[in-house]
Amino acid sequence: MLKEQSRRDLKNDDLNSLVPDVEVDRLGFVAACLAAGFAVTAEPLLAQAIKTPMDGLEGGDIKIGDIPAYYAVPKGKGKRPVVLVVAEIWGNHEHIKDVVRRVAKAGYFAVSNEPYFRIGELWKLTDIKEVLAGANQLTDQQAFADLDAVLAWAAKDKRANVEKLGVTGFCRGGRMVWMYTAHNRKVDAGVAWYGGLSPSMPGQPQTPMDVTDKIDRPVMASTAAPIPAFRSSASRCCAPG
């Protein structure tokens, strides 16, 4: 059977030494991803993926109306600040659920929803072009409505304090950090882990640059390199006074 190397050449001997040499066939790789709950086209190194335990936490998979979601919160009494964790183009796969657990370990009521459940299980697709085509169908209005519904659900939970609200997300979810912060003035702060600055048609014709005038709360952008547009927009929307 034809094998392919799972190792990536990172152009640095020290970095390459951290990545194991493992030969896998494509079907085996796909099966391993699906079994572990990771997105296939994200190509995780399954042996090195972080697995945060539920020790000391409560939560798990839930349904909020028709919306599949996942939450975690520290055990014990008292209300915890709420953090929305917004998924990338692959949806609410195991990586995002692990982030939810990590955030909860830091003392928050963390929750993520499946943005693409009306479209399909994008994390199972083997062609990244199909993943993008599916993710691009999700409109901001629908994403906003789903996140609003998640917050309404959290507001009824005695362990959640929605008056203290943060949002974080990755890639497409990083974009949504900006968009949702502009949409919902109850968001106190956000952290965007990269995220697109270009329209993604047909569902997302606007970009974060189109809504920065509506953001007067702190949003931190974590990117691989300085992005002047983010810097100027951040100074514009978050300047004191």
Highest mean pLDDT, choosing among 18-27, 157-166, 213-222: 157-166
Is residue 74 located within the same domain as residue 144? Answer: yes
- Determine how β-strand 109-113 pairs with β-strand 189-193: unpaired
CATH number at residue 71: 3.40.50.1820
Is residue 169 located within the same domain as residue 220? Answer: yes
- Domain of residue 31, residue span: 1-36
Is residue 141 located within the same domain as residue 220? Answer: yes
Report the C-alpha dihedral over residues 209, 215, 219, 224, rounded to 10 degrees.
0
- What letter represents residue 118's amino acid? R
Residue range 8-34: mean pLDDT, rounded: 45
Is 79 domain-assigned?
yes
Is residue 22 located within the same domain as residue 121? Answer: no
Q: Which residue has the higher pLDDT, 19 or 226?
A: 226
Query: If you write DSSP's letter for every residue of 45-63 in order, what string do you get?
Result: -GGG------TTEEEEEEE
**Taking every pair of C-alpha atoms in the chain, what is the biggest distance, in angstroms?**
65
What is the pTM for the complete model shown?
A: 0.76
Using an 8 Å Cβ cutoff, are 87 and 168 in contact? no
- What letter represents residue 126's amino acid? T
Is residue 96 located within the same domain as residue 57? Answer: yes
Is residue 157 located within the same domain as residue 97? Answer: yes
Residue range 154-171: mean pLDDT, rounded: 97
Average pLDDT, the chain: 80
Buried b (16+ CB within 10 A) or exposed e, 110-130: bbbbbbbbebeebbbbeeeee
